A and B are shown apart, each in its own frame.
Chain A
Amino acid sequence: MSEIRWSNQTFVFSSPTGRVYSPGLWRLMRNELFKMRRRPLVWGLFVLDLLFVIAAWAVLVYYAMKSPDGFQTGHLLGGPDALIRAIGQPMTLGRRGGEFIALALGALTFGGEFSSGAIRLALSRGVRRARYLLAKYLALAIVCFALALFGFLLSCLLVNLLMLIHKPAPTLLNMNRQTIIYLLEMMVGTCENYLFCMLLGATISIIARSSTFGIAAGFGYLIGEDIAAQILPVIGRSIHSQTGNQIVTFLFTPNLNAFYANFLPGFLSSTLNRLDGVIACTPAGAGCVPVTTLHALIVVLVWALILWTISTILFIRRDVLQ
């Protein structure tokens, strides 16, 4: 440090500054995206999500190699539904990993600034707190959408490589209107899942003012609720009560999964248990609550409203700690 000397220039600055002001939402959001773009960890999490997709595709390839008849009509990679299956499987596993990644991103974006103290720099410059919070959420929403989109695009890309193993195999050339509709619906479900997981991570990290705690508690919450969704009905049955089932229908994570599961075509749901069952609740299995899409959406929205309110009040009203 001591070898570096301050500039000896006789003037203070040669370049003038423009008019200073409290920036708008758009500028703040772009600034947040700028910070995220320059953050290696964000890229690392992005790559990790894509690795989930690749891993799911690798399982598909393994299945194809072990079962050559899988490419026959009526099997996993044969028939008119082959393409949606081949794209849907990696997407679904990518979604499971992506939920945790979105949660981590939310926690890192807020908790990281609290932990490092960098938030002081922003809020001491006259930035409106509510606007700053909203800008961060919007930037995170864009990242979540990008996460879902890249998972989808990678799934689409990888499916064409099945040709290397077996011919004929499903490719994007088999794309039809019905497949596009299914894939878009899965995208909607994925984005919804990511957004609410991000909100959960952000809120916990704002409450705790720590990204580490936000990530740890958020992960624990997601997994814990997945497990609870399976245990509660069992407990309910053992005591001859429906209470367990009723509680599950109002939990956060099971409804997130249920929302996604409701967008999956039936034939895909039935074959995804093996892939997606790696983490407690499966989107189409017993762990998920049998509720309508609307119910799942409303329950999640109520949860989101609670999380949003808590995070907003705390962010705006609380002092920035030393």
Chain B
Amino acid sequence: MMPSPGMQGESLTAQNGNSASQVQQATANVAQATWQMPQIGLSRQLPQQEVVLQTRGLTKVYGKRTAVKDLNLEVMRGEVFGFLGPNGAGKTTTIRMLLNLARPTSGEISLFGQLLSRHAPRLLPRVGALIEQPAFQPYLSGYDNLVAVGNYTGGVTAERVRDVLDLVGLRERGRDRYSTYSPGMRQRLGVGAALLTDPELIILDEPGNGLDAPSIAEIRELVRRLSGLGKTIFMSSHVLAEIRQVCTRIGIIRGGQLIAVGEVDELLNAAARWEVECENPAEVRRLMTAVPVVRSVEVRQDRAIIDAPDLRGRDLIYYLARNGVWPESVQRRGQDLEHIFRELTEQESGL
């Protein structure tokens, strides 16, 4: 049913009997939709899944600088969690606290359901980690370095060390001194050390550092295989492309604060926008700004870009039509994750 031009400016209410139910539905859809993006997943309820890693109000202050502020994270068993943020966002500080290398100023960390501050010697041997740049004894060979690392937790045989060297492609260079390794080889050894004890939780801080493209692809493949074996993986990076293909969930940190967390699809969906092409985009802006679910409306030439990801297309068209705006086209534009990441981090920093 076509609305008449005289209905311009009308609100989303039923005007005649035939369209009453449709309008009510549209109103309900618009009203019920809420913008979730910055909080996605922060309070998500996952059914009966074991939380392997959890932080509550985690804060780290260095002098006057707050490196991490009130961080609340949950990583479930078997999950590949991507921890994203630009350089200096607080990723490494968070990881250092997770590994007991830095003490939180306030807040708590739980690993495998137990407090890290009380049970670190029992919990951390179950974690394998690559922290920042790999750092081994420069005078030891790759093999000896892994033996020494294995002695910190026990349970590592010579065969296991050889297996790890094999896995990371360093078998041939295993007896060479670490100081002679290239940055890429050092990174490989770091990944190997993280996997040495067959850990339940693997924390990888910028695993692609210093690696060439094929090696990064191989790390991705390795992460997939480990994930397939039920390992929980916490992977940080400032390069979105590095982890987007393997992570089941992503958390974005900026200025020490978690600004978004959720599944990749959730984030993509949340960032989707409606692009309305019409003769009078300014009128579209006027109309849509009044709708609570709409975050913003931007006018670009003959288009209005509506930031309202949970708004349904048919509701939008119907609402515009009833108010006398006849769009040439209405399209839903999905955002690239890279774009979302950039937008979120810039938004938070006020750029």
Please give, as numbers and ranges, the residues of chain A lying within 8 Å of B136 by CB-CB distance. Answer: 116, 118, 121
Bound Cα distance A7, B184 (Å): 15
Bound Cα distance A167, B71 (Å): 82
CB of A4 within 8 A of CB of B152, answer: no
A295 CB-CB contact with B under 8 Å? no
Bound Cα distance A101, B156 (Å): 34
B23 CB-CB contact with A under 8 Å? no
Interface residues of A in 36-53 (CB under 8 A from B): 38-41
Please give, as numbers and ranges, the residues of chain B lying within 8 Å of A118 by CB-CB distance. Answer: 135-137
Interface size on B, residues (CB 8 A): 68
CB of B215 within 8 A of CB of A126, answer: no
Bound Cα distance A65, B184 (Å): 60
Please give, as numbers and ranges, the residues of chain A lying within 8 Å of B137 by CB-CB distance. Answer: 35, 39, 112-113, 116, 118
CB of A22 within 8 A of CB of B163, answer: no
CB of A41 within 8 A of CB of B139, answer: yes
A123 CB-CB contact with B under 8 Å? yes
A27 CB-CB contact with B under 8 Å? yes
A79 CB-CB contact with B under 8 Å? no
Bound Cα distance A16, B229 (Å): 14
Q: Shortest CB–CB separation between residue A156 and chain B, in angstroms?
A: 31
Interface residues of A in 281-306 (CB under 8 A from B): none
A166 CB-CB contact with B under 8 Å? no
Bound Cα distance A275, B75 (Å): 67
CB of A6 within 8 A of CB of B102, answer: no
Q: Shortest CB–CB separation between residue B106 and chain A, in angstroms?
A: 15
The 10 lowest CB-CB distance pairs between A and B, nearest first, are A117-B135, A126-B124, A18-B155, A1-B184, A22-B121, A124-B99, A20-B125, A31-B151, A125-B152, A319-B102
Q: What is the interface of chain B, defined by CB distance below 8 A to chain A?
A: 92, 96, 99-103, 120-127, 129, 131-133, 135-141, 144, 147-149, 151-157, 159-160, 163-164, 166-170, 172-173, 182-185, 188, 193, 195-199, 212, 214-215, 218-219, 222, 225-226, 229
Using A6-B168, A6-B218, A38-B141 as known contacts, list a sample of 14 further A-B pairs with CB atoms less than 8 Å apart, ordered by residue number in A. Answer: A12-B225, A12-B229, A15-B157, A15-B160, A17-B160, A19-B155, A21-B125, A21-B153, A21-B154, A22-B124, A22-B125, A28-B152, A38-B139, A126-B127
Q: What is the interface of chain A, defined by CB distance below 8 A to chain B?
A: 1-2, 4-7, 9, 12-23, 27-28, 30-31, 34-35, 38-41, 112-113, 116-118, 120-128, 319-320, 322
